[in-house]
Amino acid sequence: MIAALLSLALLAKVPAGMVPIPAGAYHPLFAMRNAPTRVAAFAVDRAPVTRGEFLIFVRANPAWRRSAIKPSLAGASYLSDWPSDLDAGNRTSRDQPVRNVSWFAARAYCAARGKRLPTTDEWEYVAAADEKRRDATSDPAFIQRLIAMYTNHRGGFRNVYGVDDLHADGWEWTADFNSAMSAMSAGDSMARGDGAHGGHHDLGCAGAAFGAADPSNYPAFLRSTVRAGLTRQSATSHLGFRCAM
Amino acid sequence: MPVAVHESAHTVKRAAVAAALVSLALLGTATLTSCTRADAAESRGSIPVRTPSDPIEGQEVAVLTDAPNVPPPITRTHATKVIVNLDIIEKTVQIADSVEYNVWTFGGSVPGKFIRVREGDLVEIHLKNAAGNTMPHNIDLHAVTGPGGGAKVSMVLPGSESIFRFTAMNPGLFIYHCATSPVPMHMANGMYGMILVQPKDGLPKVDREYYVMQSEYYTTGKFGEHGLQTLDMEKGIEERPTYVVFNGAVGAIAGAKALQAKVGERVRLFVGDAGPNLTSSFHVIGEIFDNVYGEGGTVATQHNVQTTLIPAGGSTIVEFGVEQPGDLMIVDHSIFRAFNQGALGMIHVTGPDNARIYAGVKGLGVKGE
Ligand SMILES: [Cu+2]
């Protein structure tokens, strides 16, 4: 009852287009099953940031236009799927999630909106949900469904919190996507068979399954591998973001 | 080394080297393990600790082929730097009639490109992950000496390239595969191929060489179910494949796409088993393997073999003379796999019939009966 009231209170405060997420806990891929990670209440965008929304941002912030971007802030493929600096394509394209955006650009966008990128813990916590359950990850049917979505690039759904398309065709930036990898080499984590929580582990051998709380959670492995391979300048064709606060 | 079947003058030289080594050993002063020459390495019972010592002369770009083709034998007699350009491509292919699957490939097909280098070569792998791809990938070549077999140093994001090099110190036929987490998924989705590290003295001359790779698909739909399929994790974990195929698809080397040979020719098959799970009881119906290089090593370990076992993540080389025209069926003799799951290929042999070798005399299958 109190929780419900708190949710309502939070609901009243979140800006349009955002969804309140109640506090809770989840099981990171590389943590002990009996030691869930606590996640405080926050709010997250219902949908990924679209090209059209990002276009508004680059109009207002010329330094983030494709032709003006500093190489230290984004790789050469930054917004490479746009016809030009201030052309994000036709209306259909503009409604698509923005792609080829670096972590720096995503962070700047969220900051301009008074928001921030979600942490990996926050993102994974919300992404564990299906339409009816907050944590569906122990259901093989849910895992199987995500595998199909990740490989066939189809689908997408609104989860129990009301968040859309976390697993649709693409990956999303998180604030601390690479924090663990910067602190240790892949080889170190492989030798120890562990990895800091936040989804980082060795990506280059079958031993990567050691230390995983749930070795059958292939979607979590895929996300974790993607994150660990990124740099803050990476801008790839299946990588977008949404904001949190 | 293929000493037993070698036809060149090298045999004589090799025998001399072996004799010299034996005399050294008899003197009681030779420590064979400290010797880094490949010839010494092959002498019986030695365990070489290798140090690449061949001078690297020049540079070339490796000829890569799609199955069932094999790059031509390497005729040079020195080590060189070999550039291998492997493009990782994620695409939709047909794995059976009207059955699609989104495969991840080394070079655009399943299995991946066949790489051929020479023992002692300095091999530089240029791994490009196409910009439109969704996944990071890497490569683990079983021909590499070093942690991860290359996987540790070859991870590459879509739109980028990774480069690493290794010395191909051990000759033999090796599997390579993607080793990006989750590895079983990357392998089940088609990320495997083979690299032949040709022994310095080459392989015996044959008339035809082919590349055959056995592997499994685990699909959400049942065998033959039309439409786009996806990896079925549960079937993978339980090792219950939906498809067992040669060269990436049902019928990839059958019918009009059968391997070809003529009576009187000598054929060599480079056969791999990419798994991800099953071992193969590799058999060619109506043929007997004259030589089998067990587990893809460099010694003809056995002759006159009917069925040879190939481990998952392993290989074998088989050689045979072709004596009789007709269709020779390639199967995994775990025979339900051939009949119900697709593990069926074909070698179409043309040429004169020899009734002394094989002839029907009486029965339903005999013409004119
Ligand atoms: Cu891969």
Measured CA angle at B354 (ends B351, B359), to 5 deg: 120
Round to whole Å and give the CA distance between A28 and B121: 44
- Judged by a CB distance cut-off of 8 A, whether residue B230 touches chain A is yes
Tens digits of residue pLDDT in A161-204: 999 999 977 899 999 998 644 333 333 333 333 333 333 344 44
Please write the tens of the pLDDT for every residue from B305-326.
999 999 999 999 999 999 999 9
Contacts of A57-61 with CB under 8 Å at 24 or more apart are A57/A108, A57/A109, A57/A112, A58/A85, A58/A86, A59/A86, A60/A112, A61/A108, A61/A112
List CB contacts (< 8 A) between A170 and chain B.
134
Distance CA B369, CA B361 (A): 9
pTM: 0.87
CB B86 within 8 A of CB B126: yes
SS3 A6: helix
Q: Determine contact, residues B121/B168, Cβ cutoff 8 Å.
A: yes
Mean predicted lDDT score pLDDT of chain B: 90
How far apart are the C-alpha atoms of B321 and B290, rounded to whole Å? 7
Could you give the CA distance from residue B186 to residue B180 in angstroms, rounded to a whole number? Answer: 7
Contacts of A227 in chain B (CB under 8 A): none
User: Nearest-CA distance from A22 to chain B in Å?
Assistant: 31
Cβ–Cβ gap A218/B134 under 8 Å: no
- Side-chain-side CA neighbours of A55 within 13 Å: the count stands at 19
DSSP string, B253-309: TSGGG-EEEETT-EEEEEEEEEESS--EEEEEET--EEEEEGGG-SS--EEEESEEE
Burial class (CB in 10 A: 0-12, 13-18, 19+), B90: buried
Q: Which residue of B has its CA nearest to A171?
A: B134
When comparing pLDDT for B2 and A94, which is higher?
A94
pLDDT category at A11 given cuts 50, 70, 90 is low
Contact B68, B259 (CB under 8 A): yes
Distance of CA B198 to the CA centre of its chain: 12
Please give the full DSSP string across A39-68, using - where no structure is assigned.
E--EEEESSPPBHHHHHHHHHH-GGGSTTT
A106 — phi, psi (to 5°)? -65, -45
pLDDT digits 0-9 by tens, A203-242: 444 445 666 778 889 999 999 999 999 999 999 999 999 9
pLDDT at A215: 85
Residue A6 Cα to chain centre, angstroms? 25
pLDDT score for B39: 47
pLDDT digits (tens, 9 = 90+) for B88-98: 999 999 999 99
What's the pLDDT score for residue B23?
40
Q: Which residues contact A35 (CB under 8 A, 6 or more apart)?
A: none
Q: What's the distance, Cα to Cα, between the start and end of chain A in Å?
A: 24
- Token pair listed for B6: 């070698």
Higher-pLDDT residue of B287, B31:
B287
Q: Which two tokens stand for residue B107?
A: 């070079």
Q: Where are the domains of chain A?
A: 113-240
Q: Is the pLDDT of residue B334 over 60?
A: yes
CB-based contact B136 A150, cutoff 8 Å: no
Average pLDDT over residues B10-36: 39
Interface residues from chain A to B (CB-CB < 8 Å): 75, 77, 140, 143-144, 147-148, 150-153, 169-171, 186-187, 201-206, 208-209, 216, 218, 221-222, 224-226, 229-230, 234, 236-238
Cβ distance of A226 and B135 shorter than 8 Å: yes
Task: Identify which of B316, B247, B318, B233 has the alpha carbon closest to the alpha carbon of residue B277.
Answer: B233
ipTM greater than cut 0.95 = no
Taking the Cβ of residue B152 and every Cβ of chain A, the question of whether any pair is shorter than 8 Å is answered with: yes
Give B230-273 pLDDT, tens digit per residue.
999 999 999 999 999 999 999 999 999 999 999 999 999 999 99
Pairing of the two strands B289-293 and B99-106: unpaired
Q: Is the pLDDT of residue B18 over 80?
A: no
**Model pLDDT for residues B47-58, shown as the tens digit of each residue:** 999 999 999 999
- Mutation test of the interface with chain A: which of B91, B103, B160, B181, choosing the one with the most A Cβ atoms within 10 A? B181
pLDDT at A211: 64
